[in-house]
Amino acid sequence: SQKIEQNSEALNIQEGKTATLTCNYTNYSPAYLQWYRQDPGRGPVFLLLIRENEKEKRKERLKVTFDTTLKQSLFHITASQPADSATYLCAPVGQAGTALIFGKGTTLSVSS
């Protein structure tokens, strides 16, 4: 069955550092990979999407990579800020994706 793993449930870093979150998937060949941010008590918010033929995608301080050989996506937040503290979810999805399957998420805490 399809399996999605996100690195350690919690990641603690200091303000100004780069946070790197990992999303690994197995038994799956997604055409896209989506990343979401979820704050406590709120619904997830879409951040970025990367296609299988893209190696890297950037949006402001965010960068996502997609390695279909390793079956892995990395999500980077540079110059991290306390406001970046949240849970980040990845969702690999096929070309004909009718519904998203999410990883359990990684909770990022940025301390000042």
Partner 1 sequence: DGGITQSPKYLFRKEGQNVTLSCEQNLNHDAMYWYRQDPGQGLRLIYYSQIVNDFQKGDIAEGYSVSREKKESFPLTVTSAQKNPTAFYLCASRTGGFRGNQPQHFGDGTRLSIL
Question: Rule CB under 8 A: which residues touch partner 1?
Answer: 9, 30-32, 34, 41-46, 49, 51, 89, 93-105
Rounded to the nearest whole angstrom, what is the least distance from the CB of residue 89 to partner 1 in the complex? 7
> Is 36 or 80 the residue whose CB approaches partner 1 more closely?
36
Distance between CA 63 and CA 90 in Å, rounded? Answer: 13
Please name the residues in contact with 26: beta carbons below 8 A apart, sequence gap of 6 or more.
2, 3, 5, 71
Question: How crowded is the C-beta side of 78, counted as CA atoms within 13 Å?
Answer: 7
Rounded to the nearest whole angstrom, what is the least distance from the CB of residue 38 to partner 1 in the complex? 8
Rounded to the nearest whole angstrom, what is the least distance from the CB of residue 44 to partner 1 in the complex? 5
> Is 32 or 72 the residue whose CB approaches partner 1 more closely?
32
Task: Enter the tokens of residue 10.
Answer: 């919690």
Is the C-alpha dihedral spanning 105, 106, 109, 110 positive or negative? negative
> Is 15 or 67 the residue whose CB approaches partner 1 more closely?
67
